A = this chain, B = another copy of it.
């Protein structure tokens, strides 16, 4: 037993961070204690404020402390495009691409075996958001996994009868890297989705 109780508690608490094990937590705790106590206090305050203050956007359901998130509150965005994603972190990823339409955040993906049906992940809210908005196209940007595909397929079935354009983000080979390192399924998608080159 070589750390005092407060230090031990701090090390244990740091281990809830993703990717942080015993050794990393020790290094973090001792570095903060020895080098940056004011930074540690700022982190404590930011954590407490965020854990207590952050809720969900009323319209798109991403994480925010306001009634509307920055994307929903921005009047200059394209109101005809809705991008459906699985989680708040995906909003950030899509935002990085320069997309400037609106968002809707599901709570994960359909997973009937885990008891996650359409209601659990927010499909009814998505349908009423689409009914309320003036969207002409809904882009389904769920993850390219079996569950993400199934979720996209289910949503498309619900929305196509409403006369909207429903699209799915393209599957294909990612930029960079080498073709022989790409898995067979991805390569098959890339071949099937090939496009003519016009010069």
Contacts and interface: CB of A to CB of B under 8 A. Distances in A.
Chain A, interface size category, equals 35 or more
Interface in A77-92: 87-89, 91-92
A16 B43 contact: yes
Which of A14, A17, A89 has the most chain B CB atoms closer than 10 A to its own CB? Answer: A17
A40 interface: yes
Interface string A49-71: 11111100000000111100111
A44 B51 contact: yes
A1 to B, nearest CB: 5
Interface in A90-130: 91-92, 95
A88 B13 contact: no
A40 B45 CA distance: 11
Given A18-B27, A29-B50, A2 B42 contact: no
A12 to B, nearest CB: 8
Contact of A10 (B32, B36, B37, B46): B46
A158 interface: no
Contacts of A46: 6, 9-10, 12-14
Given A4-B70, A13-B42, 9 more contacts: A7-B50, A13-B43, A13-B47, A14-B46, A17-B28, A26-B92, A27-B89, A40-B51, A41-B52
Interface of A: 1-7, 9-10, 12-14, 16-19, 24, 26-34, 36-37, 39-54, 63-66, 69-71, 87-89, 91-92, 95
